[in-house]
Structure 1
Amino acid sequence: MNAIDATTVTGAAGEHLVMSRLLSRGYIAALAPQGVPNFDIVVTSLEGTQLCAFQVKTRWAKGSDGGWHMRQKHEELQNPNIFYCFVDLGKEPSSAPTVHVVPSQIVAKVIRESHQTWLANPGARGQSRNDSAVRRLLPDYEKLMGPETPYKKDWLEPYRENWDQIASITRPAQKAEEQP
């Protein structure tokens, strides 16, 4: 399998894993058409009146920083109805994958702050860094941002398999007379 095929297959694996997680929890979910710029999956309430969407980022736990590839546009995507699913497929195909469900506002803030810190610090040889559209979402920013960062190891843990946070969007509160 060539590199393009491996990336495509990895991305599809993550999207289908997220679809499985959503459908098994009773959400109405569908893959968005290929090429939609800001999300991969659309979720709706049973009535079709409440929508949210997910952008899925998938990786194998084989890289040195344990992060996911992001772009400059992710700094600006801040919609309370859009979430990211950061899928970690593990080191081997037999590994149990994990999904971190993170609101887009949080992702935008972390990506923006970490990139500004990266730009402000000199490179390995003391050189100024050149800006680019490339960003990384990391599970631990302490090395980049220092010991005072709120994005230390395990900062993503509150988002691990946290599907409940989308219920307020896709499952409107029951009417008062329907509540026990």
Structure 2
Amino acid sequence: MSPIVYNEGMMVSAATLTGAAGEHHVMSQLLRRGLIAALAPAGVPNCDIVVTDDIGDRLCAVQVKTRNNLGSDGGWHMRKKHEGLDSPSLFYCFVDFGDDEEAAPVTWVVPAPVVARALSECHQAWLAQPGKKGQQRNDNDMRRLLPAYDHLGVDEYRAGWLSPYLEAWGALQQPRGPG
């Protein structure tokens, strides 16, 4: 894929196209499972897709994070704000398109409280470790959701911690209790 697509004088980045492809992949998976799913209006800060059932009994929001097989850690870019997004009706769909356009996408469907806790605990563990030159690390707004935090020594988030969420589309189909 070329890094930039030209359309009537406007440039669209490859990252924008990858993100849109991830959202449409998730929409397809939800619709195939009989859920009503619609893209949220542009500019909605914490939701890409709104989901309900055919009679409106269930409603949840989905934020999609998409990656190609770039970088060495296999993770997704997140921000400090995601540590505070812990609504039980918010889910993340972490889509990995791999490194081959012919490969089938892989998706982890993770409840927001799980993501918030993992980001917070693992970022704190990262801050507590010295940097490459032995210096104290500087805090910042960037976070990474990784499939393995073995390098940080946080037992709960070692390799395989995301496995229960792999293609866990059923989590979005569970009845929601009264809020």
Asked if 1 retains the 8 angstrom alpha-carbon contact of 2:150 and 2:157, the reply is yes
**Residues 94-173 of structure 1: matches in 2 within 5 Å?**
94-143=102-151, 145-146=152-153, 149-169=155-175
Give, in angstroms, the shift of residue 168 of structure 1.
Answer: 2.0
> Letter of the aligned partner of 1:104 in structure 2?
A
Q: TM-score, normalised by structure 2?
A: 0.90
**CA separation in 2, counterparts of 1:129 and 1:169?**
43
Q: Match for 2:15 among 4, 7, 23?
A: 7
Unaligned runs of 5+ in 2: 5-10
- Secondary structure, aligned partner of 1:154: coil
Alpha-carbon distance between aligned partners in 1 of 2:104 and 2:160, rounded to the nearest angstrom: 18
1:34 aligns to 2:31 (yes or no): no
Q: Which residue, out of 35, 41, 50, partners 2:58?
A: 50
- Superposed CA offset, 1:122-157 (max 9, x none): 1000111111100000000001x22x5111112111
CA contact (8 A) 2:83 2:120 kept: yes
Q: Which residue of 2 aligns with 1:66?
A: 74
Equivalent residues of 1:66, 1:138 under 8 A apart: yes
Aligned to 1:84: 92
1:57-93 CA-to-partner distances (Å, cap 9, x unmatched) read 0001121110000000000000110000000001111
Compute the displacement of 1:4 (Å). 6.0
Contact 1:82 1:104 in 2 (8 A): yes
Distance across 2 between alignment mates of 1:91 and 1:154:
21
Please list every run of 5 or more consecutive structure 1 residues that lacks an aligned counterpart in the other structure.
173-180
The 2-side partners of 1:13 and 1:103 are apart by: 21
Contact 1:87 1:97 in 2 (8 A): yes
More strand by share: 2
Percent identity of equivalent pairs: 56
Distance 2:77 2:175 in 1: 27
> What secondary structure sits across from 2:60 in the alignment?
strand
TM-score by length of 1: 0.89
Query: Aligned partners of 2:106 and 2:120: how far apart in 1?
Result: 24
For 1:8 and 1:85, the matched residues in 2 are separated by 17
Q: What is the DSSP-based 3-state SS (H/G/I as helix, E as strand, rest coil) of the residue aligned with 2:172? A: helix
